Amino acid sequence: MAADFYTAIDAALAAHLRQLPALADVRTIEANVRDKIFAESAALGVQAFRLDELPAVNISTQVSPAASRPRTADRLTYEIPVFAAIVTRGGSAADVREQARAIQREIEAALHTLRGANTVLGVNCNITGDLVSSPPILTQTEAAFVAIATVEGTVFKSVDKGA
């Protein structure tokens, strides 16, 4: 059943980000894994999306291993890495860099609001620890500049043993 809550967290994060007015211009906010994104290369990142899908955000809790430990005799806690990849495309390096940074800042702010007691990510589930953001990596394709930036954090999830 553990895989079920990973998928549920991914879907909840994507749904939460889609509702934010500041991200209304982001064409694609999704929770499925696109392999080419995780090379953290702007050239590969843009290949993961069609041009009409950009700018895009891809959220996943299924890229890195999660730690688990007993919390009480009948509960386990999971520390699940969450990874958001941001891909932008435009006519100038400055424009795509700023667009990636603006989206990155909004995602950081949204994740910080998911700390503590809330039910956006599900019962007994919230963001914990520090967020780590990469500076946008830029590349130039034949027709445009492309940037890929990331935001990484940790989701804390507490579950009953055997769930």
Q: CATH number for the domain including 35? A: 3.30.2000.10
pLDDT surpasses 60 at 30: yes
Residue 3: the pLDDT is 52
pLDDT surpasses 80 at 88: yes
Total structural domains within the chain:
1
For the chain, how many helices (H) and strands (E)? 3, 7
pTM of the model: 0.87
pLDDT surpasses 80 at 119: no
Buried b (16+ CB within 10 A) or exposed e, 113-128: ebeeeeebbbebbbbb
Asked whether the beta carbons of 93 and 138 are under 8 A apart, the reply is: yes
Average pLDDT along the chain: 85
Q: How far apart are CA 158 and CA 126, in angstroms?
A: 9
Residue 66: the pLDDT is 83
Which of these, 2, 49, 26, lies nearest to 110 by C-alpha position?
A: 26
Q: Identify any residues that bridge with 77 across adjacent strands, giving them in sequence order.
A: 69, 158
Residue 113 domain boundaries: 2-160
